[in-house]
Structure 1
Amino acid sequence: MKVLVVGSGGREHALCRAIANSPLCGALYCAPGNAGIADVATLVPVGSEDVEGLVRFVQDNAIDFVVVGPEGPLVLGLVDRLTALGVKAFGPSAAAAELEGSKGFMKDILAKYGVPTAFYGRFTDAGAAKDYVRKHGAPIVVKADGLAAGKGVTVARTEAEAFAAIDEALVDGRFGAAGAEVVVEEFLDGEEVSFFALCDGENALPLASAQDHKAVGDGDTGPNTGGMGAYSPAPVLTPELEARVMREIIEPTVKGMAAEGRPFKGVLFAGLMIMNTPDGPVPKTLEFNVRFGDPECQTLMTRLKSDALAALVAAADGVLDGIDLRWHEGTALCVVMAAEGYPGDYRKNTEIRGLDAANAVDSVTVYHAGTKRAEDGRVLSVGGRVLGVTALAPTVAEAQAAAYRGVDALDWPEGFCRRDIGWRAVGR
């Protein structure tokens, strides 16, 4: 097969490496890709949200299968355009991608089909939203309805903080059209975990759990980021809880989306809160994403033994019930190296050295995210999150130690990382 992967981050590097290892893959392209992806795929200078440019490339190059990495092109309808042309693609239609594209829509689906989640209200009027906050009190959560690049969620500890978040979205228009509506919902207290399942419109095949680290600083301090590291599997999601998540959350959502005439194909990424109750731990749904997480994908693809491309094609073809996935034992752990200043204004175009040394550390793979190769061959940083140093080992402590050996082999003074990725699992 001739395969195109859309995107340029660490998630796409992990997908490209896994797909390149498949005997089904004859030629691999990535648009727009990065310096690391260039080692396993031919880079295509087309942006991930340039739907017309991507469709043109697919047609001109007789691409057989397209794997869409980020949420943007999914919400914009890239899969719909490809399907209309008779080209297979991994990822949901625009109608199904609303599970991520609209938090209000997602909450309505959960409520309609009995999926456990926080109570909520949807508002376009700031006054009505504030009345809802007064009724329920703080802490409470305010979310911009649409895609806001991870910036649209406020966990308000006081009513005043909630009012400010409502005004920011509905009155000041900080998030543009994405904040024209807000969801105000119950604050859930517990331990967050991510769970992934492949879906083919009717069936759901469990992948694995992972736990990421959103805050920029050690000990979960400082502002939230796109993710400073992750590990898989997450011990908090026991096999019993995983079965419950499939039964109570994933399967009812897939059946519900089919009933709505929006069959979901692709990967369903459930952000969960594991709440401690007198009856034991209970999973509730915080959110759905309609693509692999980043950096969670790096840990999943590192652990996957089976042919990744065969599984993605089966999801697109509607035949997941014939797929059986095998995983490496142990833990995969990814430490994100970010550019100085991230998540605020960060330095760009600094040289990254020591990549070969880091990749030479036993069991370590360095996934690229925000990198490019200069004309003279040097690898430069061009993004906020730049590298994902990932290790696979029998235990989480060994994976953590190996990943940091990889980090320490790098020579990049302008980069930084958290030094405690995996602390919850190590503590357990």
Structure 2
Amino acid sequence: MAVFPVSSANFRRFWAGQTLSQFGTRVGALALCVTAVDHLDADSTQVGVLTAASTVCYLLIGLPAGAWVDRMHKRRTMMGAAALRALAVLAVPLLWAADALRIEALYAVALVVGVVTVFFDVAYQSYVPVLVPDEDIAAANSRLEASAQVSALGGPALAGLLLRVVSAPVVLLLDACAYLAGCVCLALTRDGEQLPSQTAPAARSGLRADIAEGLRFVRDQPVIRRLALSMGVSNFFATMTATLVPVLVLRILGFDAFVLGLIMTAGAVGGVLGAALAPRARKRFSAAAVMAAGLMTAAVFSAAGPLAALAGPGAKAVSGTVLVVGEFGMTAGALLFNVTQVSLRQSVCPKHLLGRMSASIRFVVWGGMPLAALAAGWLGEEVGVVPTLWIGVAGAVATVLPITTIDRVLAGDGRGAARRGPVSGGFRASARPGRAGRPPGP
């Protein structure tokens, strides 16, 4: 199977497509939220339902999506998902132009985009090891994460500027165009991927068996099991916080959409720093140390939201500065963790299980997000937005606990990379044959 190094023009086409898609996603996320809060006067509960609609799909189809993706060409799957996302997003400005836009329509758009995003994301994380050689996986993930954050630098700020000139539904047109541009770049990307039916016809099994195999792998692989637990807790409380931050900024503190965009841009700057530091940190420190540092940094800086509320709307300079610094630090820590854990997961998972592993992880990790969004909306109404944000901060601190034993597990599995990453910054993949479904324990 042909692979392409990260220095190849082929990888750069894929990289450019994802950068464009990420840029549009940042613009679209802000525009959809502003459409709900400012144009449709959505309250905390409705914002929670909107967030839940975009993530509940992982509970509904997350597991079978992984089995399906492992049976399909991943690049073609991503192309189809990108095209469908563009069509769904286009519905918002069309309904707005017809004076027929309602909050229920935003729920439906978020749900459709969420469903196809399940397929896109599972295929995306499974595609990197197909496109680049094993020793380039960490470098590829670092570049992709860094470029996503670079695109996010201008995305929210541009959306904020546009929202001062045109209505939020119109800004969503840019999101649709970015998805289509990403689809074109994917169409120009080449790979040597072969479907399982072409390489191992006898190994094909039923959908239920495929799903069960992916779940067993996540359950029994000690490194991935710990990552799944940590990410599940982290995403639950991060979703609670993210759901209510727009309400805090736009309604409680009285900022406009442009300031919200600047705060998100500050987060993107931090994300670039975190993604760039991850490979370097892995050369000097253990995987657990890097991931724990990232999670704890994100947890500490997530307190910026409720701290900014203490200043109140009368001290906007102070509260705005606190929010910018907090978003910067929180995203830097999150990306430091994320680049490291994605590369580690991809290195310990056999290639034929990548789709199911990613889907099983997302089922566990993302499956709790709609519940978190609904809980945030309900708590925001019942006990207040600021107390709910403090609950999110407290929960985020607990996410580091499952990470602390990962180095010991890697060392027990005979991995010399447990203490230091190799010079390339990557992780060594398991070379033990015949143990794909259940890798050796600690």
Could you say whether these structures have the same fold, taking a TM-score greater than 0.5 normalized by the shorter chain as the test? no
Bigger relative contact order, structure 1 or 2, given CA contacts below 8 A and separation 6+?
Answer: 2
Bigger share in helix: 2
Between Structure 1 and Structure 2, the one with more strand by share is 1
Q: What is the TM-score of this pair, normalised by structure 1?
A: 0.24
TM-score by length of 2: 0.23
